[in-house]
Each structure stands twice: as C-alpha cells, then as structure tokens.
C-alpha cells in the first residue's frame, strides 16, 4: 500500500528529519511523494511568512474552495502583501499545528489549531509511522 500524500505532507512539515528523502527514498520516488514535497514546501513557506518579520498577519480568512479544498487569504501588513493559497483541507490542519509548534503568538482565530486539527494531524502522522516502520 502506498502512503497517501496527505500523510507524507504532514510528516515533511512536522517531522522533517524522519521524513527526509535520504531515509525514505522509495516514498519520495512516487507521484504522491512529489506532490507531498510541493505541498510541504508551500506550508513551510506559509509558516515562515506568518511568523516572520513581515507580520503582523491581518485580514485572515479561510473560505471554501473546490471539494476537499480551502482558500486561505491573509495580508502581511508591513509589506502590504495579499497572499491567497488554495490548500487541501488536511494541509490547513497541518499549517495550524505547525504554527502552534513554531510558537506563533497572537494568531487570528482562523489560524489557531483546534482539537479536530490536532486529531487529524495525529492520524496522518500515525499513518506515516505505520508505513515508515
């Protein structure tokens, strides 16, 4: 059974050393692996933008998109950048958990991890662990 891109994305963002390409070459060689690397890179970039020196993050909204997708929109006040990203629903949960782990303070409610985000992320990481070990 191949590992779903959702689970590998979560592992690449939240457990990067364990999920590295060197340790998991076969996983990364799949189409799901390529998709997960793209998604993880985008999520890490969002974490950097939201927690970085361009803050504070303003006007955050999470809107519906295509089925299984959300649209995240925010403004970085200091540089007047409006960013919009379409994400799979599971990536929004990973982003919220990653922001919490990064020690982000004063997050807008739309970016704060909820119990259901943590539960989904735990499930995805357990799927990675089951496939990885």
Strand partners, 6: none
pLDDT in tens, 46-74: 998 888 877 678 888 999 878 899 999 99
Domain that holds residue 80: 5-132
Distance CA 55, CA 89 (A): 24
Position 1 confidence tier, pLDDT thresholds 50, 70, 90: very low
DSSP, res 3: P
First and final C-alpha spacing in the chain: 13
Token readout for 26 is 């076969």
Give how many domains the chain has, as a whole number.
1
pLDDT in tens, 84-113: 999 999 999 999 999 999 887 778 889 999
């Amino acid at each position: 059974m191949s590992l779903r891109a959702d689970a590998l994305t979560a592992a690449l963002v939240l457990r990067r050393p364990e999920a590295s390409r060197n340790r998991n070459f076969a996983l990364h060689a799949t189409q799901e692996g390529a998709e997960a690397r793209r998604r993880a890179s985008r999520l890490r970039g969002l974490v950097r933008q939201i927690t970085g020196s361009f803050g504070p993050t303003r006007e955050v909204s999470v809107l519906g998109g295509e089925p299984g997708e959300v649209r995240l929109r925010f403004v970085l006040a200091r540089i007047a950048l409006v960013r919009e990203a379409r994400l799979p629903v599971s990536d929004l949960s990973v982003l919220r958990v990653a922001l919490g782990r990064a020690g982000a303070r004063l997050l807008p409610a739309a970016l704060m991890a909820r119990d259901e985000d943590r539960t989904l992320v735990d499930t995805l990481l357990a799927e990675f662990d089951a496939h990885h070990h």
